A = this chain, B = another copy of it.
Amino acid sequence: MRDFSSDHAALALNTASLGHNLEGHGARWEPERVIDACAARGFGSIVFWRREVGARAVAIGERARAAGLAVAGLCRTPFLVGTDAVDRMAVLDEARASIDMAAGLGAAVLTIVVGGVHPGTKGTTESLKIVADRVAALAPYAAERNVKLALEPLNPVYAGNRSCLTTVRDAVDICIAVDASNLGVAVDVYHVWWDSGLDAQLQRAGESRILGYHLCDWLADTRDVLLDRGMMGDGVADLKEIRKSVEAAGYAGPCEVEIFSANNWWKRPPEEVLDVMVERFRTVC
């Protein structure tokens, strides 16, 4: 297991942790300012959201690398299934546009949040088949542009309308079914911390299919399942144990802090949030 106590080069910022560039936080922080703040603190990489990048993918990617940061990823494709993803061709077109953006940024990985239960179906089985079909259609396009696709299982609380994909097990099943070398899984502690089958499924995934590791914490008394994530150390997820499993399966990439926290961390000065992240990463992750 890697020792981060005196080296946090593996630390990545997911910009969502600062409230998506901090609208409503006094001056809006453009990507450049976030990049500089991360670089100044020794973060190794950064992950953007599409809304922040817009038409400036190439410039932002170059700016990050010039500051010494890798662009570890881009969030995310549009939903591939569910009520807002009925038209297959439209969904694939929009997903290809997000792949283009990731390629422009030079992002190593594009995250996929798959969407909820597809209209006209019940349960998750049929929806997951549609996901597999659409991911199979996208993977070659992404491979040609040197972009890896990471299926991110979300906590089952979101299964109805955000992600019929709820476990690493189901994500690995899709990876095996699609069988594309640039397809894998993103492991977010917020979504998987409760899963006693996690270690076995990470072993099953193997090094080549673990494409991301996302950090935050699950607050015991979570008040909002979207926007009340905890800073590492403030919750009940066993962060050390999960990272041990992820690394035992071969993962040696960035650890990406992604904290949606409307009423706590998003209200604090971003410099403070970044400082706390570094400290927590070195001590409790």
Residues of A within 8 A of B (CB): 83, 116-117, 121-125, 128, 155-157, 159-161, 164, 166-167, 169-170, 173, 193-197, 218-222, 225, 235-242
Query: Which residue of B123, B194, B242 is within 8 Å of A166 (Cβ)?
Result: B194
Cβ of A220: which chain B residues have Cβ within 8 Å of it? 83, 116-117, 160-161
Contacting pair B157 A236 (CB below 8 A) = no
Cβ of A195: which chain B residues have Cβ within 8 Å of it? 156, 166-167
Q: Cα distance A193–B242 when bound, in Å?
A: 25
Q: What's the minimum C-beta distance from A116 to chain B, rounded to whole angstroms?
A: 6
Query: Which residue of B156, B157, B160, B238 is within 8 Å of A123 (Cβ)?
Result: B238
Q: What's the minimum C-beta distance from A59 to chain B, rounded to whole angstroms?
A: 38
Cβ of A121: which chain B residues have Cβ within 8 Å of it? 236
Q: Cα distance A185–B60 when bound, in Å?
A: 53
Cβ of A194: which chain B residues have Cβ within 8 Å of it? 124, 156, 159, 164, 166
Q: What's the minimum C-beta distance from A188 to chain B, rounded to whole angstroms?
A: 13
With A159-B218, A167-B196 known, 16 other A-B pairs at CB within 8 A are: A83-B220, A117-B236, A122-B236, A122-B238, A123-B241, A124-B196, A128-B196, A155-B157, A159-B236, A160-B218, A160-B219, A161-B220, A161-B221, A164-B194, A167-B195, A197-B197
Q: Cα distance A225–B225 when bound, in Å?
A: 9
Q: What's the minimum C-beta distance from A118 to chain B, rounded to whole angstroms?
A: 9
Cβ of A197: which chain B residues have Cβ within 8 Å of it? 167, 169, 197
| Sampled A-B contacts (7; CB under 8 Å) | A123-B193, A123-B236, A123-B237, A125-B196, A160-B220, A160-B221, A166-B194
Q: What's the minimum C-beta distance from A276 to chain B, rounded to whole angstroms?
A: 19
Q: What's the minimum C-beta distance from A81 to chain B, rounded to whole angstroms?
A: 12
Contacting pair A157 B156 (CB below 8 A) = yes
Cβ of A159: which chain B residues have Cβ within 8 Å of it? 193-194, 218, 236
Contacting pair A235 B123 (CB below 8 A) = no
**Closest B residue by C-beta to A236:** B117
Cβ of A237: which chain B residues have Cβ within 8 Å of it? 122-123
Q: Cα distance A124–B124 when bound, in Å?
A: 25
